C-alpha cells in the first residue's frame, strides 16, 4: 500500500479555487475507483469529485466550507498501487501553480467571509451570487427554507422565494439595520450600492465577474488580437433545417439548431488548417491532436460558461446535436461537471443569439482563436447566374474570428475563416440525418 494525494481537480481555464460543500466519505472509509468522495462548488459549477484510485481515506486535509486552491491536496488515501493518480497530479499542478499566487489576491477573501452565514448552514457560490444580484441580505437568506442536503438552499429554493418575496423583502430591509447589523456590515460591499454625486452608484463586482474580468484582461495582455470577417450565405442550411426539423424532432425527441452545423464545419476546417488548433507556452507552440470545440452557453446568473465537446471531429451531426442540447440544458440548470468545461482547443460563440450582426470576441486562453457567428438576416444579394447577375433575397450571416497574431498570421486566420464559410455554403441539402 502506498499513500497518494487526492488533488482538487482543474475546473476550467479561469477557475482557481473551489469550496468544499460536503464530504461524502470520512477518514477510515474505503473508496473504489471513480467513486465520489466530496461535493464542491464554484461560481460556475456544483459537482462531485471522484477519486482516481481505490484505497482507504487516512486523512482529510480540509473541512466543509473551506475554500481550496486548484492543485492542492485535499485528502490522503492509502492506495493499492497503480499509476493512475500521477497523470492527474501532473496535469493539474504545474499549470495552475503558475497563476495561483496573483489570482489569490483577487478572489480569495469573498468566499471565506460570506460562505457560512451563522451556524453550520452553507450556501453555494451560485446561490450567493443570486442573493447579491437581488439585494437579499444574509439575514434574509437564512430565513429561506432549504430543500437540499442538510437544509441547503438550492437555486430553485431562492428563485421560488424571489417570486413571492413582496412584502417580506420590504420588512427585511427595515429590520436588517436594527437587528442584524453585524451581518449586514459583512456583506455590504457586495450587496449594497454606494451613491455618489449626480445620482451615480458604485457597485462592487461579484466574485465571478472579478474572475471573468481578470481572465479577459489577461487574454488581451497575452495575445495581440486580430479579427477577420466573412459573410456567409446560409440560405441552403436554413431551408434544409426547416425541411428536416419536424421529422428530426419526432424521431430524436429534440430540436436541431444551427450550432451543431457550425461546430461540424469548424471541425472540418481545423483538419484542413491544424495551425489553428494550438496553444502557446512562451516561445513554444503546442500542437493539439484532439479537436475539442468549446461553445459559449448562458448561465442562470447571466454569466457565460464554455462547455467543451471533446473530439468533435469524430461525431456525426446527430451526435453533435445531442451534445449541444445536453450541454445547453445542463448549463441552464447548473449541472455541468468540472471536466466538461476544460481542455478546449477552439471556441465558438453565438453573438447572433443576442441580436448582434457581428462581434470581436476575446480569445479564451490558452487557445489562439475564437469564432463568433452573428444573427441570420434576410437581405437582398447580387447573385451570378448563367443568365447574368440577379438580385435575390437570401439568408445572410456574418462570421468573425479573433486570433493570436503571435502565432496565427493573416493568411492562416483568413484562410481558415473562409474555409468554414465554404463548408457552410457547400452544405449538402440532400443530406438525411
- Residue found under cell 474555409: 419
> Cα separation of 193 and 196, whole Å?
10
Fold of the CATH domain 2-107: OB fold (Dihydrolipoamide Acetyltransferase, E2P) (2.40.50)
Q: How confident is the model over 373-391, as a mean pLDDT?
A: 94
pLDDT band with cut points at 50, 70 and 90 for residue 198:
low
| Residue 417, pLDDT above cutoff 90 | yes
> Cα separation of 65 and 52, whole Å?
23
**Whole-prediction pTM:** 0.62
Burial status of residue 417 (CB atoms within 10 A of its CB: 0-12, 13-18, 19 or more): buried
In DSSP notation, 320-348 reads: HHHHHHHHHHHHHTT---GGGGS--SEEE
| Residue 57, pLDDT above cutoff 80 | yes
Q: What average pLDDT does the structure give for the chain?
A: 81
Percent of the chain past pLDDT 70, that is, above it, reads 79
pLDDT at residue 1 in the model = 59
Active site residue: 214, 339, 405, 422, which one? 405
Query: What is the chain's Cα-based Rg?
Result: 25
pLDDT at residue 368 in the model = 97
402 φ/ψ angles, rounded to the nearest 5 degrees: -95, 135
- Residue found under cell 452565514: 117
| Residue 84, pLDDT above cutoff 50 | no
Active site residue: 34, 150, 272, 409, which one? 409
Percent of the chain past pLDDT 90, that is, above it, reads 46
| Residue 172, pLDDT above cutoff 60 | no
As a CATH number, domain 224-425 is: 3.30.559.10
Is the model more confident about 299 or about 103? 299
Report the helix count and the strand count for the chain, using DSSP H and E.
12, 21
Q: Is 405 a catalytic residue?
A: yes
pLDDT at residue 43 in the model = 59
pLDDT band with cut points at 50, 70 and 90 for residue 370:
very high
CA distances from 27 to 24, 37, 58, 81, 82 (A): 10, 11, 5, 20, 22
Lowest mean pLDDT among 126-130, 308-312, 404-408, 411-415: 126-130
Is the model more confident about 419 or about 108? 419
pLDDT band with cut points at 50, 70 and 90 for residue 127:
confident
In DSSP notation, 264-326 reads: HHHHHHHHH-GGGSEEEETTEEEE-SS--EEE-EE-TTS-EE--EETTGGG--HHHHHHHHHH
On the CB side of 246, how many CA atoms lie within 13 Å of its CA? 3
Before 265, cis peptide (omega within 30)?
no
CA distances from 36 to 24, 50, 88, 287 (A): 7, 4, 16, 33
Q: Where are the domains of the chain?
A: 2-107, 111-193+201-209, 224-425
Q: How confident is the model over 198-224, as a mean pLDDT?
A: 85
357 φ/ψ angles, rounded to the nearest 5 degrees: -75, -35
DSSP 8-class letter at 351: G
For the ranges 89-98, 293-302, 338-347, the maximum mean pLDDT occurs at: 338-347
Amino acid at each position: 500500500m502506498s499513500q497518494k494525494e487526492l488533488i482538487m481537480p482543474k475546473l476550467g481555464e479561469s477557475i482557481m479555487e473551489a469550496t468544499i460543500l460536503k464530504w461524502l466519505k470520512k477518514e477510515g472509509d474505503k473508496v473504489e475507483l471513480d467513486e465520489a468522495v466530496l461535493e464542491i462548488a464554484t461560481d460556475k459549477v456544483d459537482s462531485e469529485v471522484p477519486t482516481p484510485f481505490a484505497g482507504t481515506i487516512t486523512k482529510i486535509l480540509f473541512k466543509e466550507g473551506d475554500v481550496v486552491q486548484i492543485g492542492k491536496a485535499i485528502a490522503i488515501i492509502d492506495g493499492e498501487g497503480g499509476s493512475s493518480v500521477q497523470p492527474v497530479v501532473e496535469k493539474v499542478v504545474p499549470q495552475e501553480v503558475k497563476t495561483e499566487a496573483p489570482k489569490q489576491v483577487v478572489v480569495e477573501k469573498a468566499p471565506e467571509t460570506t460562505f457560512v452565514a451563522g451556524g453550520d448552514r452553507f450556501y453555494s457560490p451560485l446561490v450567493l451570487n443570486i442573493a447579491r444580484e437581488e439585494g437579499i441580505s444574509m439575514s434574509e437568506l437564512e430565513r429561506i427554507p432549504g430543500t437540499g442536503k442538510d437544509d441547503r438552499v438550492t437555486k430553485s429554493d431562492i428563485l421560488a422565494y424571489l417570486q413571492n418575496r413582496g412584502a417580506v423583502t420590504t420588512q427585511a430591509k427595515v429590520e436588517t439595520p436594527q437587528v442584524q447589523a453585524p451581518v449586514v456590515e459583512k456583506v455590504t460591499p457586495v450587496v449594497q450600492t454606494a451613491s455618489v454625486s449626480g445620482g451615480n452608484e458604485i457597485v462592487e463586482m461579484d466574485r465571478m465577474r472579478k474572475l471573468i474580468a481578470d481572465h479577459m484582461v489577461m487574454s488581451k495582455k497575452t495575445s495581440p488580437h486580430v479579427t477577420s470577417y466573412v459573410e456567409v450565405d446560409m440560405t441552403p442550411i436554413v431551408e434544409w433545417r426547416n425541411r428536416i426539423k419536424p421529422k428530426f424532432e419526432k424521431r430524436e425527441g429534440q430540436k436541431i439548431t444551427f450550432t451543431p452545423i457550425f461546430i461540424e464545419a469548424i471541425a472540418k476546417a481545423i483538419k484542413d488548417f491544424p495551425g489553428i488548433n494550438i496553444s502557446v507556452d512562451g516561445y513554444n507552440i503546442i500542437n493539439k491532436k484532439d479537436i475539442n470545440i468549446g461553445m459559449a452557453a448562458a448561465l442562470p446568473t447571466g454569466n457565460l460558461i464554455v462547455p467543451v465537446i471533446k473530439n468533435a471531429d469524430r461525431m456525426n451531426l446527430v451526435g453533435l446535436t445531442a451534445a449541444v442540447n445536453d450541454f445547453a440544458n445542463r448549463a441552464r440548470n447548473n449541472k455541468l461537471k468540472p471536466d466538461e468545461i476544460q481542455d478546449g482547443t477552439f471556441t465558438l460563440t453565438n453573438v447572433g443569439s443576442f441580436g448582434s450582426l457581428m462581434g470581436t470576441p476575446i480569445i479564451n486562453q490558452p487557445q489562439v482563436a475564437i469564432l463568433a457567428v452573428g444573427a441570420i438576416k434576410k437581405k437582398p444579394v447580387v447573385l451570378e447566374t448563367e443568365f447574368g447577375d440577379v438580385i435575390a433575397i437570401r439568408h445572410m450571416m456574418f462570421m468573425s474570428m479573433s486570433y493570436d497574431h503571435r502565432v496565427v498570421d493573416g493568411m492562416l486566420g483568413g484562410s481558415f475563416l473562409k474555409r468554414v464559410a465554404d463548408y457552410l455554403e457547400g452544405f449538402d441539402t440532400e443530406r438525411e440525418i
